[in-house]
Amino acid sequence: MASYTRLGNYLLANELSADPFGKIHRGLALSGSSFERHVLIRTFTEEILEAGIGARIEEAERAAAALAGLRGFGHGYTLEGGRMPHVVCDYIHGRSLAQMLEKAKQEQIPLGVDHALSLLQGVAQSLIQLHSKGLSHGTLSPHTVWVSFEGATQILDAPIAKSLQGLLPKCPLASASLSRYRGGTGTTALQNDLFSLGALCYELLTLDKLPSPDLLAPTLAKATLKAAQEDAPVPPEILGLLKRLLGVEKVFENPSALSAELERVLYDGDYSPTTFNMAFFMHTLFREENEHDTQAMKADQSADFSPFLETHPSKGGIFETADGRSYAKYMVWAGVGVAGILGFLGYKSWTDSQALAKTNQELAKAQTENAEFTARLADINRREQLAEGNKAEATKLLSEARTAEDKKKAQAKLDEATKQQADIQKQKVETQQLAQQSATRTQNIAQAPPSAPPTPPPTVLPPSLPATQVNPSQLPKNLPSNAQASPLPVTAPQQAGPAQQPSNAPQSQAVPEGPELPPTMTRRAVPIQPRGVNKNFLAPSLRNSDIRVSVRVYVDAQGRPSKVVVDKGVEGAFGYNDAAKQAAYESAYAPATRGGKPINAWITVEYNFGKPK
């Protein structure tokens, strides 16, 4: 069974993207217990939740209504409050612009000027529409732009952007992460959004973050097309647009002025930005992710969602005959003995349903706790990256310091960054331990055998009515062949162990016994070796030894790998863990068996990538 987490009226599946405000997941909307459609679900970090995003849901709903039907903002928005507020919209195959930039940098795939202009055009048009509705964004960054695998851009957080901007003073982590994309104080809402657009444009051309304001002008003068892997300077017409967006030269007074200048740069120059070229680039960059998403979405359509729904006791008539006529007159003849048996079975059915409902509640609670730990770890990772950046900046300042006072200040800043990094690392280790414990509890609950379903009540014939005098068409459907000789045996719940069958029970009702055999791999997929890994950035213990990644695969009763988790991997964004997980998903398995019947179970698989080059 795939890993799902209940969240309001939806189920969370796998995480697609993480940013300073939270995460974007693939989600499922259900109709009863059946799959209805896929959606995108945005959840929020603990920092944003504590700042009070739940109290701003109505404000976000008004913004979503104003943007309904417009291109570039997603569609079908639903906002749910409560203890875990979240935002839902129609599903769009793709990834965030931040992920696209990071992967292009890692894979060393050139991001052409036409690609950069295509993305800039899509985001700029969305901002123009946003301001035409009297709204603004205020927190635009590569994390908030969603790029579909078909090359189109969407500002998915537009309905909640204004609400998030109002919470930034209470959210130091999110505010620090977005500092390079926000204009100075005193600027208008339009100028602030255009500054963010300029910061995006600079990053699309150079793959570098925008420098601090005092270094902005000289940096732009020396900017080159590093993203396209060219040493050529930024073309004058694009550089002029960039300077106006960033406020270095005359700013745009209104959206119309921006639209006119953008058209001149796009269509009067030597570039031809098209959605088709962008789609080809995205499919090249995210081929594996696209295939994995498609496979996972197909598996969702046939998954069993009953563990995540409320369990209702069966209300069917238990004394109906095959043709729908009542069997009550025979029960009257059965007397007090039958009443006692029915009372016992009713109590047993109630206890079984209560146990099953309790198990489902524990599973949902454990998965919610697991999701919270995952969100907390993501926050810590972002803080760790920020601390590493501060430490690198302090180290650079120390190396460039010329006077004793400057060196003293730089050393103090370096000491503070080092201490902060150590504190964050300690928090990370503690949180990882708690998250592992939570994951273990979730796994134990998920793998525990469910309660046995209620046993159909027996049918007892009155002594005065021989079995040979009963018309078979009048007997109930669940009447056993030996009912006239003895009542049906009562099956104990599975939690108490296998049911003990009496010697005279029918052979077909015997519980299968036998050894439990683990799942086996019938076809082993070869993992794709990550490209461009610099072994100098690996841990010292891995630089001259084989790279091994151990994963645990949850194989369902049909032999499908429904979940893969890294057991022992390689820390860092080197791609080994993802390659091992992808290979595990693409391999084939035979399910585990108990008593000859297939069951769900885990299997551990290790992949050896050899020594790093």
Residue 329 has pLDDT above 60, yes or no: no
**For residue 394, what pLDDT is reported?**
81
Residue 458 has pLDDT above 80, yes or no: no
Q: Binning pLDDT at 50, 70 and 90, where does residue 454 land?
A: very low
Contact 356, 450 (CB under 8 A): yes
263 or 358: which leads in pLDDT:
263
**For residue 446, what pLDDT is reported?**
61
pTM here is 0.53
**For residue 504, what pLDDT is reported?**
37
514 or 412: which leads in pLDDT:
412
How far apart, in whole angstroms, are the C-alpha atoms of residue 227 and residue 220? 15
How far apart, in whole angstroms, are the C-alpha atoms of residue 545 and residue 543? 6
Q: Binning pLDDT at 50, 70 and 90, where does residue 168 land?
A: very high
Residues 6+ apart with CB under 8 A from 69: 75
- Mean per-residue pLDDT over the chain, rounded: 79
377 or 151: which leads in pLDDT:
151
Q: Tell me the percentage of the chain whose pLDDT exceeds 70.
A: 76
Residue 326 has pLDDT above 50, yes or no: no
Look at residue 13 and give its three-state secondary structure.
strand
How far apart, in whole angstroms, are the C-alpha atoms of residue 517 and residue 497? 18
**For residue 465, what pLDDT is reported?**
38
Q: Binning pLDDT at 50, 70 and 90, where does residue 447 land?
A: low
**For residue 182, what pLDDT is reported?**
85
**pLDDT digits 0-9 by tens, 180-214:** 898 766 678 999 999 999 999 999 999 999 988 88
Residue 464 has pLDDT above 60, yes or no: no
Q: 249-263, 388-402, 489-503: which range is least confident on average?
A: 489-503
Q: Bridge-partner residues for 17, per DSSP? A: 24
Q: Is 313 left (phi over 0), alpha (psi -120 to 50) or beta?
A: beta
Residue 396 has pLDDT above 90, yes or no: no
Within 13 A of 612's CA, how many CA atoms are on the CB side? Answer: 22
**For residue 449, what pLDDT is reported?**
55
Q: Binning pLDDT at 50, 70 and 90, where does residue 380 land?
A: confident
Residue 556 has pLDDT above 70, yes or no: yes
**DSSP-assigned letters across all residues of 201-212:** HHHHHHSS----
336 or 256: which leads in pLDDT:
256
Q: Bridge-partner residues for 18, per DSSP? A: 23
**pLDDT digits 0-9 by tens, 264-292:** 888 776 676 777 788 888 988 999 999 99
**pLDDT digits 0-9 by tens, 27-61:** 999 887 788 899 999 999 999 999 999 999 999 99
Mark out the alpha helices in 269-318 (DSSP H runs): 275-285, 287-300
